[in-house]
Structure 1
Amino acid sequence: MRRLHVHVLVMSYVDPCSGASARLSEEGPCDMAGIPDFHGPHVEPPLPGHITLTWYDPTPRPPRIRVISHTCECRDTTYELCAAAGQGFVRRTDREKQTVRETAWTLTATARRIFHQILHGEAR
């Protein structure tokens, strides 16, 4: 006789923007409808003496761009670490000014470092 093991998943979630918390439990098949929207990290304020990045108008290059990571959508300005055609770049979207800008396309490792610097207030 075979035994069927059912795993119960219990998660707690705290929304970093509103501070609201939720407790989720799940039995059996995965039900994604009960999972709240998860936020990306918040960008730290710029540090004194931070690096000033050069931002360019977006250029249509490859047909598909993969977003590797992104910042929280609760702010007017969001940042996305993107990759395409073996290169990486950071995309900045300012919803208040309704603009989209990109860093220069570069090695993916360099784009990751730039994204990390933006997150920690070391670059803008």
Structure 2
Amino acid sequence: MSVETCVSPHLGMAQRDHTRLDWHKPDQVLERARPVAWTCGCRATVYELLQGGGQGFIRRTLQLDGGHRVEESHCWSIATTRATWMALLSGHAR
């Protein structure tokens, strides 16, 4: 799939002074969270913005040859999660 045919966003280049996010194994804190935004699946790493119960988090899925590995950020308020999502898309967080 070429970038021209993708309908979901791709991450910008990581900025030199980007914020490092802490990633951990999924812990089902927000069992009823639903994805509201995601990056394109044409890349090896896909990110999803999930929200539920007034909170949100970001899920990172690494698509590997032998399967995939899923990691999640901490839970934040929806406003903080959306700000972090925008920082991730623009290269100011990873």
Q: Which range, TM-score by smaller chain? A: 0.7 to 0.9
Taking the TM superposition and a 5 Å limit, the aligned residue runs for 1:16-27 are 17=3, 19=4
CA RMSD of aligned residues (A): 1.9
Select 1:44's aligned residue among 1, 5, 12: 12
Structure 1: how far apart are the matches of 2:58 and 2:30?
15
1:13-34, Cα deviation, whole Å (9 max, x unpaired): xx862x36xxxxxxxxxxxxxx
Q: Indicate the residue corresponding to 2:74 in structure 1.
A: 104
Identical-residue share of aligned pairs (%): 35
Select 2:55's aligned residue among 84, 87, 93: 87
1:73 counterpart letter in structure 2: G
1:66-108, Cα deviation, whole Å (9 max, x unpaired): 1111111110101111001211011111112721111100101
Q: Which has the higher contact order (CA 8 A, sep 6+)?
A: 2
Provide structure 1 residue ranges, at least 5 long, that are not aligned to the other structure.
1-14, 21-37
If the length of structure 1 is used for normalisation, what is the TM-score?
Answer: 0.67
Matched, 1:64 2:32: yes
Matched, 1:113 2:76: no
Larger Rg: 1
Q: How many residues align?
A: 92
Structure 2: how far apart are the matches of 1:54 and 1:88?
15
Q: Indicate the residue corresponding to 2:23 in structure 1.
A: 55
Structure 1: how far apart are the matches of 2:51 and 2:14?
25
Q: Indicate the residue corresponding to 1:4 in structure 2.
A: none
1:40-61, Cα deviation, whole Å (9 max, x unpaired): 1111110112111111111123
